[in-house]
Amino acid sequence: MSITILGIESSCDDTSASVLRDGVIHSNITATQTVHMAYGGVVPELASRAHQQNIIPVVDLALKEANVTADDIDAVAFTRGPGLLGSLMVGTSFAKGFALSKNIPLIEVNHLKAHILAHFIDDLKNTYDHPNFPFLALLVSGGNSQIIIVKDHMDMEVIGETIDDAAGEAFDKCAKVMGIPYPGGPVIDKRSKEGNPLAFEFSRPKIQGLNYSFSGLKTSFLYFLRDRVKENPNFIEENMNDLCASLQYTIVDVLMNKVKRAVRETGIKEVAIAGGVSANSGLQNAMKEAAVKLGWKVYIPQLGYSLDNAAMIAITGYFKYLKKDFVEQDTAPFARMTIK
């Protein structure tokens, strides 16, 4: 019997819907919000309003692209959290209404787990290489930097995480200081390819164990620019590529040092990266280099499945559907959720 899942993602500023049939993604539609660029970051109220405008046409297009109708859907999977509460409410409310109208099961999804389970996505164009259990996952995004042992699709253990800012947050905040518009991470990645990663040296945190900290790096970068701009008002413009390359090199180096330690301590040599920052070319290259030099097997998600998207919600929902792990209509979204 065929299983068809509708996935809904609305945790931040992307409205996304995906249709999965028997473990294969048939459509994955995402509407991005450009309104936030003028404010240098996501404005929660504006995000919620945009989700309300986008959710119905996005779902409609996802159904049409998958060549299915609403009556073909066997269950609805939705992001319960973490994320912006107003944004989550839009996706949650739509999913609940859809499931109620069709009398089908409702499946809650942890957004963080879904990023990791994106590595189990197959689509109509490709069958991808999937990690073997157990494997290590480096989850890096605007709000999270975690090292996780993935024992099964639903059994994950966090062994290291940031104690303050996340890696993606460090990228965006340092970009803002340089006058780069939001989101700054992709711009830094692009400019870094033309710069010298060893041109400037920035503070590296000395945190015990496998935990991360990026607040010190961010402050170090700010003070460095302040002092250099006093000497030369055009310092940032004249050294933009080298600044981007050196900053990216430092952040990636901090991330990789902890991952290498995690591999040594656990003995697990299959390593996956997940989350928005997994699209960063510097991090991807560092992972590939580690694979060659250290004998790791690394997994890098496709770009369309690394950023926030509903395909990762649908595949997570599929695994939960097989376990009959459903929720009731009184389920409410959570702004804060952890990987348990």
CA distances from 14 to 72, 126, 183, 266 (A): 25, 24, 13, 35
Closest CA to 148 of 299, 317, 274, 296: 274
CB 294 within 8 A of CB 264: no
Q: Is residue 139 part of an annotated ligand binding site?
A: yes
Tokens of 140: 């890096």
CB 247 within 8 A of CB 188: yes
CB 75 within 8 A of CB 106: yes
> Helices (DSSP H) in the chain: which residue ranges?
44-65, 85-102, 111-117, 167-177, 184-192, 215-231, 235-238, 240-266, 281-294, 303-306, 311-322
Tokens of 52: 């309300």
Tokens of 275: 């989350």
Q: Is residue 185 part of an annotated ligand binding site?
A: yes
Question: 């059994």: which residue's tokens?
Answer: 155
Tokens of 172: 């965006």
Q: Which residues have C-beta within 8 Å of that of residue 118, sequence separation ≥ 6? A: 274, 301, 305, 306, 309, 311, 312, 315
Q: Is residue 72 part of an annotated ligand binding site?
A: no
Q: Which residues have C-beta within 8 Å of that of residue 314, sequence separation ≥ 6? A: 5, 6, 7, 18, 19, 20, 25, 77
Q: Is residue 253 part of an annotated ligand binding site?
A: no
Q: Is residue 172 part of an annotated ligand binding site?
A: yes
Closest CA to 17 of 329, 314, 256, 339: 314
Round to whole Å and give the CA distance between 251 and 236: 19
Q: Is residue 68 part of an annotated ligand binding site?
A: no
Dihedral sign, Cα of residue 146, residue 151, residue 155, residue 157: negative
Q: Is residue 111 part of an annotated ligand binding site?
A: yes
> Residues marked as binding for Fe cation?
111, 115, 308
> Residues marked as binding for substrate?
139-143, 172, 185, 189, 280
> Residues marked as binding?
111, 115, 139-143, 172, 185, 189, 280, 308
